[in-house]
Chain A
Amino acid sequence: AQSVTQLDSHVSVSEGTPVLLRCNYSSSYSPSLFWYVQHPNKGLQLLLKYTSAATLVKGINGFEAEFKKSETSFHLTKPSAHMSDAAEYFCVVSDGNAGNNRKLIWGLGTSLAVNP
């Protein structure tokens, strides 16, 4: 069965410093992996996705993530945090096999705080 583990429930960084949000997954199939962001009282926005193409994936707002199959990881990074990055971040896996029965498996989320 597939699962996602976000290793940190809370991360706090200073503005202008790097961001690292860690995610490990387990999957029976070749997974698709996603990072979503949820700002307070807002909907969920897709940051980036990995779908078996390039292992280094670039997303919106300067975020990127690297798929490492040997480590079963998909950590999210950003070189320099901005105050507006403060939000909840979710790592998501989908490894539905061919066909229609697919669903997303969500991590519990990492709350990112950015300090001035």
Chain B
Amino acid sequence: NAGVMQNPRHLVRRRGQEARLRCSPMKGHSHVYWYRQLPEEGLKFMVYLQKENIIDESGMPKERFSAEFPKEGPSILRIQQVVRGDSAAYFCASSPGTAVPEAFFGQGTRLTVV
């Protein structure tokens, strides 16, 4: 059973371009969380999704950021018109949705905006 898979591991974008980050949850997991880690900070919750539904996007910036978790395929975090401040590590986690919200994390995507 493969763990949570994120790709790419490293992504470099120029200001104004789009960044697409992918996350394949663990097999059997239907809950996906996205977190952002800025330099020397803890992780900050961005969005919580279940298949085809956004459950909680209270941590996601209102503009330029969007997330989806389609019925088939990976979850996608999309950042349009990236700016230098978007440079961070983006972590995806998945859980089976049991009573204990134990989440399994991917290795993260490190986004650098130049």
Interface status of A32 (Cβ within 8 A of chain B): yes
Q: Which residue of B lies closest to A6 (CB)?
A: B42
* Complex interface residues of chain A between 55 and 110 (CB less than 8 A to chain B): 90, 94, 96, 100-109
Cα A94 to Cα B95 in complex, Å, equals: 13
Which of A49, A100, A101, A105 has the most B CB atoms < 10 Å from its CB? Answer: A100
Known A-B contacts A43-B106, A43-B108; the reply to A103 vs B48 at CB < 8 A is: yes
Taking a contact as CB atoms closer than 8 A, the residue among B43, B45, B59, B100 that contacts A90 in the complex is B43
- Interchain CB contact under 8 A, A108 and B33: no
- Interchain CB contact under 8 A, B42 and A104: no
Q: Which residues of A contact B108 (CB under 8 A)?
A: 43-44
- Interchain CB contact under 8 A, A106 and B55: no
* Complex interface residues of chain A between 21 and 77 (CB less than 8 A to chain B): 32, 34, 36, 42-46, 49, 51
- Interchain CB contact under 8 A, B102 and A44: no
Q: Which range contains the number of A residues in contact with the other chain? A: 20 to 34
Within the complex, the shortest CB–CB distance from B87 to chain A, in Å, comes to 16
Q: Which residues of B contact A96 (CB under 8 A)?
A: 101
- Interchain CB contact under 8 A, B101 and A101: no
* Chain B positions near chain A (C-beta within 8 angstroms): 31, 33, 35, 41-45, 48, 50, 55-56, 59, 91, 93, 97, 100-108
* Chain A positions near chain B (C-beta within 8 angstroms): 32, 34, 36, 42-46, 49, 51, 90, 94, 96, 100-109
